[in-house]
Copies of this chain bind each other. A is one copy, B any other.
Amino acid sequence: MPEQVPFVDASFDTLAFQDFLDGDNREVRQHVLGVLTSPEFRYLKNPTLPEYRQQVFEWVRRIADEGLGGLAYPEEFGGADDGAKMIAVFETIAFHDLSLLVKFGVHFGLFGGSVALLGTRRHHEQYLADIASLKLPGCFAMTETGHGSNVKDLQTTAVYDAATREFVIHTPSDSARKDYIGNAAQHAQMAVVFAQLIVGGENHGVHALLVRLRDESGDTMPGIRIEDCGLKEGLNGVDNGRIWFDAVRVPRENLLNRFADVSDTGTYTSPITNPSRCFFTTIGTLVAGRISIASASVNAAKSGLTIAVRYTDQRRQFGAEGAPEQSVLDYLALQRRIIPALAATVAFDTAMKDLVRRFSERSEETAREIEALAAATKALASEHALHTLGMCRQSCGGAGYMAENRLGTLIADTDVFTTFEGANDVLLQLVARGMLTEYKEEFGDMNVWGTVRWVTRRAAATIADLNPVAPRRTDEDHLRDPEFHRDALQYREDRLLQSLARRLRQRIEDGQDSFDALNECQDHALAAARAWGERYVLECFQKAVAQVRDPALRACLDRLLILHGLDRIDADRAWFLEAGYLEGGKSRAIRDLVNRICREVRPEAVAIVAGFGIPDSLLAAPIATA
């Protein structure tokens, strides 16, 4: 059993809050917390790089020993066939060291997940049990020095040699070396390698193959060269490396052949006839990873907020003449940063629960939209976490800068969350493309011209006319009405999409290349994608709160819900003012109300972070002892 979260006086029951956030899979979360709060998981103090890496590897093994690594794999190979449980494990680990999180995710999620998803029975039988037990540590060798976001143009080749029934894996240049590959520098024995599959001289695009990197004693295999990436800004418990392949031969069977195969004699076949769709199905492994990173981002933000709320609640500085010094969390400027971040964190949490549910129930028909939701929430949540953690550090002043209080580490570790598993800008552009096609086409692959025509035709009909009175309404009933918030975000999304489509159409009609046209409207496309993601998060939050029956908890959540809705409008009030959706007076009234609700929430801030349910031994920050 994990430690009990200390009792905090609040109008609501903090355990009920915790229940609300836990959602499904409470049991597996408690199991993970039980493991993480055991003494072996105590953080190392100022370890050397080798010590840190070794410790993290042993932590991953401990989690594997508990049977918590392979829950997403089929039951017959020791798993539970339950991707949602796997994500619950992952996001709970995010309360602990984020190197552990990433190393766990690389091995069980990216590597093991590729074998499970892209492989077939022969791969499952041969590898999955050893992956689940960590007997076969692996890595995910997709990114190259020269190609990160643009996976389609990777340069590593896998040429089929029918004579020997082998693939020859080769790194044609230094810019084609695999780079930043987690687990590669030290521990991985096998890699899922993404390479251009060339059969009989024909390039069939990027496919995934299993390649052994090291033998069981850890020695590098012939033809493999690995370089250590060395120190990084953060996540130094993960051994990232660079890999070169010098005409490395692997048996034909090492092709992960669920979506495409090559026969002995060298015939390429795929049930998916569209090569581009085959490519996007192949890199679909990343969807679970993106959902996981988004969820973990939310929990990393919770750690930072718990530390910052506890410290700023107790910290006193200045005060009225003759009065005792004031808690710094009573200062408006600080409240204005911390309290909306609390609300947003709870909002993201509900969205991730919703998305995990959708992901578990996904079908051919919903897959495209879920991919877009994964991309959008990954981008928004990772940005939210990084921004929130930076703000928490600053809110804690000098104390926040001390390593023992963990905020600096959390910032450095999460900084790359905005980059890996898809750079945020690139993901948001994929979302915008998805919006333009209503997720009817293959994700990331569309005929811009056709869809743009379609969206512009449709748009005029769907965007509600502005009520001429609404932009001026400043009565509190209206401002606090969740429907107003939802309508505002929906209106913004529709308008941005419509105007984006119109601008693209204009350019394409003028003969501009669609790539250039999209680049000229890139800021617009990113804004549309953000608007779509924010509307989704708000809707999830509204739906989740609507189901809460406990009146005290409901009252607290209602305040956070209203705050979040208003804060999102306030944060983008420039857009709403430009669009005529708000007039100046209403915009000011919203700001005043945001300030007021921050003050209303403030007394329960300590209880809210208690509701996050992070055990003290995981928080571990001396300034955050409750």
User: Interface 1/0s, chain A 396-416, versus B by CB < 8 A?
Assistant: 011111111001110110011
Say yes or no: B419 contacts A401, CB within 8 Å.
yes
Which of A132-140, A187-195, A226-234, A294-302 is near enough to bind chain B? A226-234
**Chain B positions within 8 Å of A394 at CB level:** 415, 418-419, 423-424
Among residues of B, the one whose C-beta sits closest to the C-beta of A574 is B574
A412, A513, A573: which has the most chain B beta carbons within 10 Å? Answer: A412
Report the Cα distance A574→B578, complex, angstroms: 8
User: Interface 1/0s, chain A 20-40, versus B by CB < 8 A?
Assistant: 000000000000000000000
Report the Cα distance A321→B425, complex, angstroms: 20
Say yes or no: B317 contacts A148, CB within 8 Å.
yes
Report the Cα distance A577→B180, complex, angstroms: 45
Report the Cα distance A1→B48, complex, angstroms: 38
Q: How large is the interface on A (under 10, 10 to 19, 20 to 34, 35 or more residues)?
A: 35 or more
Question: Which one of B46, B230, B520 contacts A403 once the chains associate, using CB atoms below 8 Å?
Answer: B230
Report the Cα distance A515→B330, complex, angstroms: 12
A231, A330, A514: which has the most chain B beta carbons within 10 Å? Answer: A231
Report the Cα distance A149→B231, complex, angstroms: 35
**In the complex with contacts A317-B148, A573-B574, A578-B584, A398-B179 CB distance below 8 A:** yes
User: Interface 1/0s, chain A 91-124, versus B by CB < 8 A?
Assistant: 0000000000000000000000000000000000
**Chain B positions within 8 Å of A332 at CB level:** 519-523
Question: Which one of B48, B333, B419, B588 contacts A398 once the chains associate, using CB atoms below 8 Å?
Answer: B419
**In the complex with contacts A398-B179, A419-B394, A232-B403 CB distance below 8 A:** yes
**Chain B positions within 8 Å of A345 at CB level:** none
A2 at the interface (CB under 8 A from B): no
A149, A400, A415, A584: which has the most chain B beta carbons within 10 Å? Answer: A415
A49 at the interface (CB under 8 A from B): yes
Report the Cα distance A588→B578, complex, angstroms: 8
| Smallest beta-carbon distance A519→chain B, Å | 6
A450 at the interface (CB under 8 A from B): no
A393 at the interface (CB under 8 A from B): yes
A449 at the interface (CB under 8 A from B): no
Question: Which one of B143, B386, B415, B513 contacts A321 once the chains associate, using CB atoms below 8 Å?
Answer: B513
Report the Cα distance A522→B229, complex, angstroms: 46
Say yes or no: B415 contacts A390, CB within 8 Å.
yes
Say yes or no: B409 contacts A331, CB within 8 Å.
no
**In the complex with contacts A320-B516, A416-B401, A230-B411 CB distance below 8 A:** no
User: Interface 1/0s, chain A 408-439, versus B by CB < 8 A?
Assistant: 11011001101110011100000000000000
User: Interface 1/0s, chain A 149-173, versus B by CB < 8 A?
Assistant: 1100100000000000000000000
A595 at the interface (CB under 8 A from B): yes
Question: Which one of B233, B325, B336 contacts A401 once the chains associate, using CB atoms below 8 Å?
Answer: B233
**In the complex with contacts A150-B325, A578-B584, A46-B230 CB distance below 8 A:** yes
User: Interface 1/0s, chain A 561-578, versus B by CB < 8 A?
Assistant: 000000000000110011
User: Interface 1/0s, chain A 507-519, versus B by CB < 8 A?
Assistant: 0000001111001
Say yes or no: B398 contacts A148, CB within 8 Å.
yes
**Chain B positions within 8 Å of A401 at CB level:** 180, 232-234, 415-416, 419
Report the Cα distance A499→B271, complex, angstroms: 68
**In the complex with contacts A397-B423, A403-B232, A420-B398, A574-B587 CB distance below 8 A:** yes
Say yes or no: A233 contacts B321, CB within 8 Å.
no
**In the complex with contacts A232-B401, A332-B520, A515-B573 CB distance below 8 A:** no
**Chain B positions within 8 Å of A222 at CB level:** none
Say yes or no: B317 contacts A230, CB within 8 Å.
no
**In the complex with contacts A232-B408, A403-B232, A578-B588, A522-B331 CB distance below 8 A:** yes
Report the Cα distance A229→B262, complex, angstroms: 61
**In the complex with contacts A523-B595, A584-B580, A397-B148 CB distance below 8 A:** yes
**Chain B positions within 8 Å of A317 at CB level:** 147-150
Say yes or no: A411 contacts B577, CB within 8 Å.
no
| Smallest beta-carbon distance A370→chain B, Å | 24
A211 at the interface (CB under 8 A from B): no
A286 at the interface (CB under 8 A from B): no
Say yes or no: B411 contacts A233, CB within 8 Å.
yes
Report the Cα distance A71→B317, complex, angstroms: 36
**Chain B positions within 8 Å of A423 at CB level:** 394, 397
Say yes or no: A402 contacts B232, CB within 8 Å.
yes
**Chain B positions within 8 Å of A522 at CB level:** 331-333
> Nearest 10 pairs between A and B by C-beta?
A233-B408, A231-B403, A574-B574, A320-B515, A577-B577, A578-B584, A332-B522, A180-B398, A333-B522, A320-B513
* 21 A-B pairs in the complex with CB atoms less than 8 angstroms apart: A147-B317, A148-B398, A149-B397, A179-B398, A180-B401, A229-B402, A230-B402, A231-B404, A233-B412, A320-B513, A320-B516, A323-B515, A326-B519, A330-B519, A332-B522, A394-B423, A398-B416, A411-B411, A411-B415, A574-B574, A578-B588
Q: Name 6 extra pairs, CB < 8 A, besides A149-B317, A232-B402, A390-B415.
A: A179-B398, A231-B402, A232-B401, A320-B513, A320-B516, A330-B519
